[in-house]
């Protein structure tokens, strides 16, 4: 694939944004998107990324080498579908509403871990799960 530069700008009124792609030696292409169109593009890019990494090993989330896009003070919710799963969802400022489905055994492990660390042992823990 050719080298290219990408420029992203949000309009002052924050109603649209522009993506400009410039392949070296070619005229640039500019795409103007409203928020709903940007959300769709992010979703489609996520689908493409998912296909590209489908056969790769998942990153080691316990490693300090792994970069994690974190959120603080996000609006979140938990929806339960007993007895099998729960949905933990939150609004990620970069990606919009995202969530994960947790099966019962993982929920039990999380509740146990948090109970042990925050209720039974109110000291700081370096243990990762």
More confident call, 82 vs 49: 49
| 38 φ/ψ angles, rounded to the nearest 5 degrees | -65, -45
Mean pLDDT throughout 8-28? Answer: 94
Rounded distance between C-alpha atoms, residue 49 and residue 43, angstroms: 10
Annotate 44-92 with DSSP letters as a single string. Answer: HHHHHHHHHHTTSPPP-TTSTTS-----SS--EEEEEETTTEEEEEEEE
Tell me if the pTM is above 0.85.
no
Assigned token pair, 54: 């489908």
pLDDT digits (tens, 9 = 90+) for 73-94: 999 999 988 888 999 999 999 9
Q: Which residues pair with 101 in a beta bridge?
A: 87
Q: Cα angle vertex 124, ends 110, 76, to 5°?
A: 45
* Angstrom distances, CA of residue 59 to CA of 53, 97, 101: 10, 22, 19
Whether residue 40 contacts residue 31, with contact meaning beta carbons closer than 8 Å, is answered with no
């Amino acid at each position: 694939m050719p080298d290219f530069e990408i420029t992203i700008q949000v309009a002052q009124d924050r109603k649209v944004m522009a993506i400009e792609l410039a392949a070296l030696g070619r005229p640039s292409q500019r795409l103007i998107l409203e928020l709903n169109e940007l959300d769709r593009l992010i979703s489609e890019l996520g689908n493409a990324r998912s296909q590209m990494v489908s056969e790769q090993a998942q990153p080691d989330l316990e490693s300090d080498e792994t970069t994690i896009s974190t959120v603080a003070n996000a609006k979140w919710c938990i929806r339960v579908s007993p007895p099998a799963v729960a949905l933990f969802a939150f609004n990620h400022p970069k990606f919009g509403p995202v969530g994960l489905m947790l099966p019962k055994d993982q929920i039990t492990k999380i509740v146990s871990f948090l109970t042990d660390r925050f209720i039974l042992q109110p000291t700081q823990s370096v243990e990762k799960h």
